[in-house]
Structure 1
């Protein structure tokens, strides 16, 4: 019997990157996995590759979150693992920041995270695990990323409060804060191969372990935090960055 047999896992933003890597790990460990995304073609392709279920849902839209909760609970009942992974980035100085970009980032990274958790709470099994994707940038400073960093700092605060509010039901709530992970993020931003390779080399130079992380490693951490072995861990942020924040 696999560790997560008979467990229902929901992963937002599961069609690529860290969400995809986590879906693969949880599926291999026996869970019934539901992934979400904003593009039907992308989530359908990912679901076919992974052997999981896809539901179209934009974390920035409250009506989509309502529909996601309704579809999941009607088809599968209550949820055992909720990994709120969907997020966006965007660079701008404070001086040049626009209200539109500010809202785009916070509607997904902050408001979307908050209400995804809020609306799933009645449908979480007692003893369930919630994991929320944060970032090392929630607690470090990088010029041009003030809004993104603030959205992730807000996530960390939500996690701690939720951990207290849900402790009586033995529901554990934790965050993970990755450093540089090998995802499609930078290529999606339109960077040329030469620039992308240069950025990767730069990030490696900032990481004491001498490489960037892999999406599977994020999945393995989510799996651990959702397992019985982590039953005494809640309200914690778990840094997975190869030691980059030590420098």
Structure 2
């Protein structure tokens, strides 16, 4: 039996990268996984990959009406929600002097506002002892140039995890952050005009000498989702190859 046999999970941004890997792993551990995202073709491919243990619901977490529709689909299954992996986020490099309202509003609208209401609107469905996992970033801890707005959104994510862990403790609901370092995903490599050079530069900074794999982040998500992490809440689990640890 898997770690999540008979459980129900929701993964936002589940069509690609870390979200897809997380959905695959949670399903492999026995959960029925709802995957959501803005691109229907990616979600269809995810369901084809995972099989009958997955249900796709297209939606944008920055749109509260879409969130209501997503949770209506989860409610329709009739088993509540045991695992919420609030993964969906966006990033881009923009130095201080070039930050626009649109850049700020897009990143905070999805990474902070969208994530907040993703969790808030899940509250009526979360079962006793559920696990909420927020996708953070090591960039919240450092001052990488041109990444200020993104880093600020992830600092907010970390702060919310602490507060919500306190607010939800009475229901036995645990809230934690998984904090990836540089991970080889289309989203990361798409940030730079020369992805291979960008990858080489990042690799030289990581003590383990390589980028992370989405499946490695997914393993941490499965741990935080399961009873194996039953005495962990309000924490941040770093999966960064030692980048900001040693």
Q: Helix, strand or coil for the counterpart of 2:201?
A: helix
1:208 aligned to 2:210?
A: no
CA distance in 2 between partners of 1:22 and 1:187 (Å): 19
Within the candidate set 77, 82, 106, 1:75 is matched to: 77
Match of 1:27? Answer: 27
Match of 2:121? Answer: 119
Quote the RMSD (CA, aligned, Å): 1.3
Once the two structures are TM-superposed, the CA of residue 49 in structure 1 deviates from its matched residue by 1.4
Q: Helix, strand or coil for the counterpart of 1:132?
A: strand
**Equivalent pair of 1:127/1:169 in contact (CA under 8 Å):** yes
1:242 aligned to 2:245?
A: no
Match of 2:149? Answer: 147
CA distance in 1 between partners of 2:37 and 2:27 (Å): 18
Count of residues paired in the alignment: 244
Match of 2:12? Answer: 12
Once the two structures are TM-superposed, the CA of residue 145 in structure 1 deviates from its matched residue by 1.0
Question: What does 1:43-192 align with in structure 2 at a 5 Å threshold?
Answer: 43-51=43-51, 52-189=54-191, 191=193
Q: Can you list the C-alpha shifts for 1:58-86, whole angstroms capped at 9, x where unaligned?
A: 11111111111111112243100000000
Q: Helix, strand or coil for the counterpart of 2:123?
A: helix
Match of 2:225? Answer: 226
Q: Which moved more, 1:106-115 or 1:73-82?
A: 73-82
CA distance in 2 between partners of 1:184 and 1:165 (Å): 35
Provide TM-score, normalisation by structure 1.
0.95
Provide TM-score, normalisation by structure 2.
0.96
**Equivalent pair of 2:182/2:188 in contact (CA under 8 Å):** no
The structure 1 segments of at least 4 consecutive aligned residues displaced by more than 6 Å after TM superposition are: none
Q: Helix, strand or coil for the counterpart of 2:130?
A: strand
**Equivalent pair of 1:160/1:236 in contact (CA under 8 Å):** yes
Q: Helix, strand or coil for the counterpart of 2:96?
A: coil
Once the two structures are TM-superposed, the CA of residue 34 in structure 1 deviates from its matched residue by 0.8
**Equivalent pair of 1:8/1:76 in contact (CA under 8 Å):** no
Once the two structures are TM-superposed, the CA of residue 190 in structure 1 deviates from its matched residue by 7.3
Once the two structures are TM-superposed, the CA of residue 148 in structure 1 deviates from its matched residue by 0.5
Once the two structures are TM-superposed, the CA of residue 246 in structure 1 deviates from its matched residue by 3.4
CA distance in 1 between partners of 2:7 and 2:181 (Å): 29
CA distance in 2 between partners of 1:76 and 1:108 (Å): 28
CA distance in 2 between partners of 1:209 and 1:104 (Å): 33
CA distance in 1 between partners of 2:243 and 2:3 (Å): 32
CA distance in 1 between partners of 2:130 and 2:221 (Å): 13
Q: Helix, strand or coil for the counterpart of 1:246?
A: coil
